Amino acid sequence: MKTLTIKISPQLEQEIVLASEREHLSKSELVRRALVVYISQRNAAVPTLSALEQAGDLVGCFSGGPSDLSSNPRHLDDFGRV
């Protein structure tokens, strides 16, 4: 088995000690199990898509709106009013 050395805060070390006592595991076994769970969850996670990737088929599909919508402050005159 390989050895991994890391630096952790005193607070995290105390939480690991308490959890290992509660679970009746060594600190090493507790951290090994936590890493296995973390890595398996990351591997199973759906890749994150950007907003453009999620709505890419909608980009540019509308026509007829003002061409200066993003740059003309006049279009924001009523913004936020109910």
Confidence check: pLDDT of 65 > 90: no
Supply the pLDDT for residue 58. 82
| Alpha helices, H only, the chain | 10-23, 27-44, 51-54
- Measure the CA–CA gap between 46 and 21, rounded to whole angstroms: 34
User: Domain tally for the chain?
Assistant: 1
Confidence check: pLDDT of 35 > 90: yes
DSSP state of 47: P
Domain extent, residue 43, equals 10-53
Confidence check: pLDDT of 14 > 80: yes
Supply the pLDDT for residue 38. 93
Confidence check: pLDDT of 61 > 90: no
Confirm whether 74 is domain-assigned.
no
Highest mean pLDDT among 11-25, 44-58, 66-80: 11-25
Confirm whether 20 is domain-assigned.
yes
10 Å CB burial of residue 79 (0-12, 13-18, 19+) is exposed
Supply the pLDDT for residue 10. 96
pLDDT, mean over the chain:
88
Confirm whether 27 is domain-assigned.
yes
Confirm whether 82 is domain-assigned.
no
- Measure the CA–CA gap between 43 and 47, rounded to whole angstroms: 9
Confirm whether 37 is domain-assigned.
yes
